[in-house]
């Protein structure tokens, strides 16, 4: 009987230790997105959703869907897969480097062109998809056991429209 209790105790402790791994969270972000391109100096604003999965005690995977609102005719929709390497700085405070790959769908609305051929007015609207790479640094603070606030700064490379998203977020762990 003693062996069964010991085995049961070890199994419960293993489940408790594993609970950190496999932990999931979902949340949203608000961001300011200054452009780093000399031909397009503007700061757009954006919002997005995220889903996080803790793979190991140190490695967390994240999927992001972001929309960067239109400013000076340019807007963007992103799908990104990020990886975080977690460092515990204080009991409820973590820091993590970010690296990610994704897809950016750029939309440019240049307005109406003053060309009218046989009653047809031409527009200069363009839309295209591009590869996205980002790297940065994030910080998170555990507000409660299940609620986490975050702050992230990333360099985001997109051909001809690189930017520096600065994001505030909140996520619910489950």
The Cα-based distances of 118 to 115, 121, 122, 130, 144 in angstroms read 10, 9, 11, 35, 65
The alpha-helical segments, DSSP class H, found in the chain are 2-18
All domains of the chain, ordered by start, with CATH?
Answer: 23-173 (2.40.160.20)
pLDDT in tens, 115-158: 444 454 445 567 889 999 999 999 999 999 999 999 999 999 98
Q: What is the largest CA-CA distance in the chain?
A: 93
Evaluate if residue 172 carries a pLDDT over 50.
Answer: yes
Residues of the chain with pLDDT > 90, as a percent, come to 61
Per-residue confidence band for 69, with pLDDT thresholds at 50, 70 and 90:
very high
pTM of the model: 0.78
């Amino acid at each position: 009987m003693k062996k069964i209790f010991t085995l049961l105790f070890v199994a419960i402790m293993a489940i408790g230790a594993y609970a950190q791994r496999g932990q999931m969270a979902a949340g949203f972000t608000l961001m300011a997105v200054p452009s780093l391109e000399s031909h397009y100096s503007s700061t757009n604003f954006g919002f997005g959703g995220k889903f996080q999965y803790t793979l190991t005690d140190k490695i967390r995977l994240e999927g992001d869907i972001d929309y960067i609102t239109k400013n000076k005719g340019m807007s963007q929709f992103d799908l990104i897969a990020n990886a975080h390497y977690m460092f515990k700085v204080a009991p409820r405070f973590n820091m993590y480097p970010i690296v990610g790959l994704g897809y950016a769908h750029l939309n440019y609305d240049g307005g109406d062109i003053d060309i009218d051929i046989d009653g047809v007015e031409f527009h200069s609207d363009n839309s295209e998809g591009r590869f996205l790479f980002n790297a940065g640094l994030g910080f998170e603070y555990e507000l409660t056991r299940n609620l986490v606030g975050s702050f992230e700064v990333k360099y985001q490379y997109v051909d001809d429209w690189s930017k520096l998203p600065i994001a505030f977020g909140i996520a619910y762990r489950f």
